[in-house]
Amino acid sequence: MTGIGPVEPYRPAEADSPHQDAPTELLRSGPPRFGTRWAALPLPYRRLVQALVVIATATGALFALRPAPHTRAAPNPYPWPAGVTTLHYKGRGTTPTSFRFEVVVARGTPVTVHQVGAGLPELSATTAPRLPLTVKAGNPRLITVRISVYDCASLPPALVLPHLDLLISNETAQQQQSFLFGGTYPHDLWTGLRALCFPNRPYPTPTSPGQDTRDHLTRQ
């Protein structure tokens, strides 16, 4: 081998060394960022995408703020008799101490009235028609309650919310239910009791049953 100049050692391993730094271009290579790709899209396409995003956001907010639908609870097919039975006062009967009532059953199976009480230990009650009386839902029945007095002298000095006690039942249960009455029934009841117990003692029409009773006790 011939040549000019000093001989330098050949190091082929340096060219293939795994520790050689990679070119800068290779380190920065990769897919373009979202902003770059978004800017590269045509303007009409970008506007369309923006409009679709706004519509989707507004629709989601509408459904999120929408109140939950009101679900109406189905009525209990087996209600308790006291929960579906009402008693309405319909006025005086043919005698001073007889009073008419309407028994109404709102829904469910028929309700049977077994007993009617006058609400006070000094009073008793009988009915026409006789009991038991069965009332179907949607088919009210009229009942006349006649009040009797065991001892007129033992009557209370005032009638505060007079009521009737009914023993009623249906296919679900049997219950004792008290029905309170305001309006004209307290006045009509006390007028009838006064006519029954003191027929020969006329008194002026009271402003309230309690006041009339106190006046009567004072005159005694």
**pLDDT single digits (tens) 126-169:** 999 999 999 999 999 999 999 999 888 888 777 778 899 999 99
Residue with tokens 């770059």: 36
**DSSP label of 199:** T
Say yes or no to pLDDT of 176 above 60: yes
Measured distance between the N- and C-terminal CA atoms of the chain, rounded to whole angstroms: 160
Cβ-in-10-Å burial (0-12, 13-18, 19+) of 143 comes to buried
Q: How confident is the model at residue 12 (pLDDT cuts 50, 70, 90)?
A: low
Strand, coil or helix: 141: strand
**What kind and span of H or E run contains 169?**
strand 163-169
Report angle CA 151, 152, 156 to the nearest 5 degrees: 100
Q: In the structure encoding, which two tokens stand for residue 95, read together? A: 């005698």
Q: How confident is the model at residue 102 (pLDDT cuts 50, 70, 90)?
A: very high
C-beta of residue 100 within 8 angstroms of C-beta of residue 143 = yes
Q: What confidence score (pLDDT) does residue 146 get?
A: 96
Question: What does the pLDDT average to over 30-46?
Answer: 65
Q: What confidence score (pLDDT) does residue 106 get?
A: 95
Say yes or no to pLDDT of 66 above 70: no
Q: In the structure encoding, which two tokens stand for residue 55, read together? A: 């519509």
Q: What confidence score (pLDDT) does residue 25 get?
A: 47
pTM over 0.75: no
Residue 142: count other Cβ atoms within 10 Å of its Cβ: 13
